Structure 1
Amino acid sequence: MPPKRKGATNTSEETPAKVPRATRKSSTTKAASKTKASNTSGARAGTGAEFEKPFDSKKCLSWFKTYTGLEEDEDFDADQIGPGGITKLCEDINVSLDAVDMLVLAYHLQADTMPIFTKEEWTKGMTKLGIDSTEKLKVAMPSLVAALQDPKHFKEFYRYVFMFAKDSEQKCMPLETACAMIGTVMKGRPHEQRFVAYLEAKHPVKVINKDQWYNFLDFSDSIAEDLTNYDPVGSAWPVLLDEYVEWRNEESL
């Protein structure tokens, strides 16, 4: 998954308290506002010879442990997979750390904090998916990612990413983190590249709040790339998106 970047915390949007990035023991319970996955791609994620073998919970737990204890921080919780373990997992299933795959996996595990998978999240999520080995996960990942083509499923995933990528005690996502997440999650969709270019060039805000994040997906889905159907009078978009349109218009002059 894309690395979480550091960002300033003072903003006119919201001013979240500055907290350390989670790298140690953390609660596995998220606030009730977290969007829950409906797992519309199906409880069982794959087919083929590997999936003909019944799910083995002991094997799944043993598999989990192969990715623990790989962190530089000696105080890191041994019952959690951290950045080092996630990097190894990506290598084992042949996916890029910056690809959307790990965010999709985190969504199905309903992981609470980026970049951490707890033992409880892993065992519950993998049990639902019917995955207990690297081989099964490697087979299943393409179908899990492909399920994002369903608009309803993608919207749930997109909203989950906001809760996952922001620091758990903050209400907003640092701008740099938001740019990285948009570039990964919205890759190839309308306004993805230009909106990120606007944010990086103008730094109109220091953090992205939930309303701005949610509305950007709706904006991307409904407003043409060339902005021809944008209504400056009748629209009710967040100010950030109106300012993005103004920037686009200025750039075209």
Structure 2
Amino acid sequence: MNKLNKNQKLTVRRFMDVADTNDEVGAIQALKDASWNMDAAFEYYFYSARSRSSKKSTTNATGITAMFDSYKVQDNQEEERIEAEGIIRFLENLGVDPMDPVTLVLSMKMDAETMGKYTKEEFNRGMMMMECDSMDKLKEKIGALRKELTRPSSFKDVYEFTFGFAKEPNTKALALETAVGLWKVLMTDKWCFTDEWCDFLERSHGKAISNDTWSQVLQFSTQVGENLQSYDPNDAWPYLIDEFVEAKLEEKK
């Protein structure tokens, strides 16, 4: 729940109180599926619960543990985890390029906290949610995960998750180099100005990216899109977006 904003966290707690449940993961998923509408979320949640109870889960926890153990760091630290090298092998065995945005969907399903690391708890949570206890089952799921990137509401969830996932622990902003790399992974096929935006930041900004700027870039890309003439400076965009538009309009003169 650490990736949710304050209002969303309050909504989750209120939902769980009313539904009389300790199922935080299910509550969050129902609220996301219902676009944070409480009434609709209850329908999603209880329909899902009936569906789960009507068929016995075939997801094998032992299989998930075996998957995790194949990639985890072999050391004596108390925390069991998969780090960068293991994640790369994991993705290679899935047939997924590390630069493929579907890797961010996978990480979101685990509710992973830190880029470059999956804890055992995170890995187990994600595999149970996706009902995958083998690499073969997970390979079959990749197509469905990829489709989430094509649905605006699901893509927004992935995009917003990515900021907290990718920033350094105990920091409030995302390193510019990291932000630029992730924008190119997530936005190149969705926003025609992605490369120009990244070039502008590297040339004129050179500082870390705030959560507000990160979030507003997605909104700007859908609201203003390819036609900068529809840009309204009175819409209170972050100053970086204002400066970018001014620079682009100046180029057209």
Question: TM-score, normalized by length of structure 2?
Answer: 0.76
1:58 to 58, 62, 72: 62
Residue 201 of structure 1 corresponds to: 203
Q: Distance in 2 between matches of 1:187 and 1:68?
A: 32
Say which SS state the counterpart of residue 152 (structure 1) adopts: helix
Residue 252 of structure 1 corresponds to: 252
Letter in 2 for 1:63: M
- Asked if 1:99 corresponds to 2:72, the answer is no
State the identity %.
31
1:1-253 to 2 correspondences below 5 Å: 30=2, 33=5, 38=29, 40=33, 54-69=58-73, 79-190=80-191, 191-202=193-204, 204-232=205-233, 234-253=234-253
Query: Are residues 207 and 61 of structure 1, via their aligned partners in 2, closer, same or farther at CA, if it must alter by over 3 Å?
Result: same
For residue 32 of structure 1, report the CA deviation from its aligned partner: 6.3
Letter in 1 for 2:180: C
For residue 69 of structure 1, report the CA deviation from its aligned partner: 2.4
- Superposed CA offset, 1:125-171 (max 9, x none): 11111001111111101111112222111111111000000012100
Say which SS state the counterpart of residue 81 (structure 1) adopts: strand
Query: Are residues 78 and 91 of structure 1, via their aligned partners in 2, closer, same or farther at CA, if it must alter by over 3 Å?
Result: farther
- Superposed CA offset, 1:212-249 (max 9, x none): 001000000010323021123x2210101000101212
For residue 31 of structure 1, report the CA deviation from its aligned partner: 7.0
Residue 11 of structure 1 corresponds to: none
Letter in 1 for 2:251: E
For residue 201 of structure 1, report the CA deviation from its aligned partner: 2.5
The answer (yes or no) to whether the contact 1:69–1:78 under 8 Å persists in 2 is no
Residue segments in structure 1 that go unaligned for 5+ positions in a row = 1-28, 45-52
Q: Distance in 2 between matches of 1:224 and 1:78?
A: 44
Q: Distance in 1 between matches of 2:250 and 2:76?
A: 51
Letter in 1 for 2:239: V
Q: Distance in 2 between matches of 1:237 and 1:214?
A: 11
- Superposed CA offset, 1:161-208 (max 9, x none): 000000121000010100001111112112222211211222x14100
- Superposed CA offset, 1:82-136 (max 9, x none): 0001100111011111111211100011001111110001111111110011111
Q: Which has the higher contact order (CA 8 A, sep 6+)?
A: 1
Residue segments in structure 2 that go unaligned for 5+ positions in a row = 9-24, 34-43, 49-56
Count of residue pairs brought into register by the alignment = 212
Q: Distance in 2 between matches of 1:215 and 1:79?
A: 36
Say which SS state the counterpart of residue 71 (structure 2) adopts: coil
- Superposed CA offset, 1:51-100 (max 9, x none): xx921111111111100127xxx676661000001100111011111111
Say which SS state the counterpart of residue 96 (structure 1) adopts: coil
The answer (yes or no) to whether the contact 1:68–1:78 under 8 Å persists in 2 is no
Q: Distance in 1 between matches of 2:79 and 2:94?
A: 22
Question: TM-score, normalized by length of structure 1?
Answer: 0.76
